[in-house]
Structure 1
Amino acid sequence: MISYCTNVHPAEDLDGIRAQLARYAEPVRRRLGAGTLGVGLWLAAEVAAHLARDQAELARLRAELDDRGLAVRTLNAFPYRGFHDPVVKHRVYRPRWTEAGRLAYTLDCAEVLAGLLPDGAGGSISTLPLGWREPWSDTDDTAARHHLDRLATGLRRLEQRSGRRVRVAVEPEPGCVLDTVADALGWLKGTDPDYLGLCLDTCHLAVSFADAAETVRAIRAASVDIVKIQASAALHVDDPGDRQVRAELARYAEPRYLHQVRERAADGALTAADDLPEALAELPGDGPWRVHFHVPVHWEARGALRPTTDVLRTVLAEVEGPLPHVEVETYTWTVLPGPPADLAEGIAAELAFTQDLIDQRGCA
């Protein structure tokens, strides 16, 4: 079962979460004609803490999910709070894994997920790649390792107490301490593989210009589990030096989220910019760009811009055996240029498209 990530909705209290289930999630399920729809919940820190400590409230939420034909097998615990504030940018990486607040939040999310999981199912939680790359010191690295070790201990105790295994998936992202999948594989050595693994976000992978098939093989060779795949697409443009193309790209330079950019030279070397306005002002535009802007995975090319959906297609095809949790994560619907979309219709179309890609695995 695939899920869609509810961080697209600006709900940061229980009433808002219930409203989004009624307004979006259940209508999406009906549009798809599905008996059950997977939802990857995002819970702001205060909501997660409340539900983790109020089992009666948690039971009521699970009952409502059941009544609406919705199932939760994964949570997104990357944003902490305020994910739909007017300006988010670098604040999405706070608190870092150096801070006790990040550990407490993630353990709260695990407690909630254990209470929401369908009987007999395991769960996954995606988390940030330690923090933004600067400032970061050896002392920070030691603190992050300490907190993730404590996280694994807490998840083991949760399983012993509840019978539910919840695993946390570290999600590499351009510009962060764990910028690439290779960075994450190196850092995950020595952590507890029963409870910690990798979240492979296909937008982030595309921005890094990594070969998707080789990346999946490298993960397999490292004996690190892909605990979760976030099905997402970046923007690709072949000729960012063209004036008209730059005008098209500028429409995506919105103020809420950070949109990291990578330019690839003819020799394969990458030049980086931390946001799209910076890229438009400073990068030479001599080679193709990939932009960290989660665009709908089912989009066709729009002028000179196209989504990197082929990266998602390759990852799904290369993963051997049963897929891990797959969560469609397009949180940018409300900041896309152009007229507002019918959000439920757009989410349903993305889910149907992604399910088709999954159904096509091994059919080529």
Structure 2
Amino acid sequence: MLKAFGLAGLLISGLSGFSQQTNPGKIHIGLVYPLSTNGTHAPLDTNKLSFHLIAGVSSVERGFSFAGLSNIIRNEAKGTQFAAFSNHIGKKADGLLIAGFLNTYGEGQGAQLAGFGNFSRGNVKGAQLAGFGNIAKEVNGAQLAGFFNISTSVKGPQLAGFMNLSKKNVACTQFAGFINKAANVNGSQFAGFINIAKKVKGIQGAGFINIADSSDYPIGIINLIKKGEKAISITTDETSSTMLSFRSGGKVLYGIIGIGYNFKNKDEVYAMEIGFGAHWFQSSSFRLNTELTGMSVESFKRGEYFKSSFKVLPALRIGKHMELFGGPSFNFLSTNTIEGKTLHKKFIHSWENKWGDHLQALYIGYGGGIQFNF
């Protein structure tokens, strides 16, 4: 054991002497502050190379630093800083930060990778990649996190498992498992549940709802666009399914959600519909609407009736708020109920399973209605 400590002391002394002869900075080796070659003076020193079995403390790093637990750098760091648990830089980190758990720093230029989080008190130029979350002010690059990204503004993509939040502008695209929120988005937003923004120049795609002041291409079931369009409609089709629907969206794309009643059935009478639509060839009195919808008619007891439709609906505007529309539809039907099989009988093509209790079919239908725009 004594021989091992002696060899370690010779190695430390030799590396210290080498650094003094060839480098303006020091080579800093130790266990944990102040048990190192720089001793109690370590918080004031600038190093070219640092290696600590547990944790290292320094003023400035201008090369590579390694710590079994944490690197604590009071001022700037330039180069690569690697720690099994965390890196803490007081001012600017210029280079690569790699930590098993956490990186904290004043501002950054380069890539920051952490198992849990990258938290910057200033601006970041480069990429932040974290297993849980990233925080920064202005980001000129990308933020990728397993759970959340928070920034003042971003010139690049934000990708998060749950949430992206930018207090000002996003100059690229936001992807989130649940929610995106930003001011102006010069790109697109895609979220599993909700997108919130002011002006969006690209697509807003959400699993349920989009909210914006201006967004021409929202793809969601409900789209609350201040400068867009919202409408309440009453429609019917070839199966006598009459729907009360809410249509909402921007100047081009819109979403559809509705409930209704089927007047041809005796048992399966309750109808539900969701879908998406697009406006084409718009003028002051006419436009062409195309819609892709899915409708289910239920008794809530047993069996199923599902119809997916592609609709081509020429629309005539009457004044500022009223609109009449109607046209053909191309439909795919799937049902295993007796009443569902009798709703429509003329098919382009149909097929049943080997037991004869489940019908699938393709056919041409029709539909139309009236809506009030507001």
Normalised by the length of structure 2, the TM-score is 0.21
Greater relative contact order (Cα < 8 A, sep 6+)? 1
Higher strand proportion? 2
| Greater gyration radius | 2
Higher helix proportion? 1
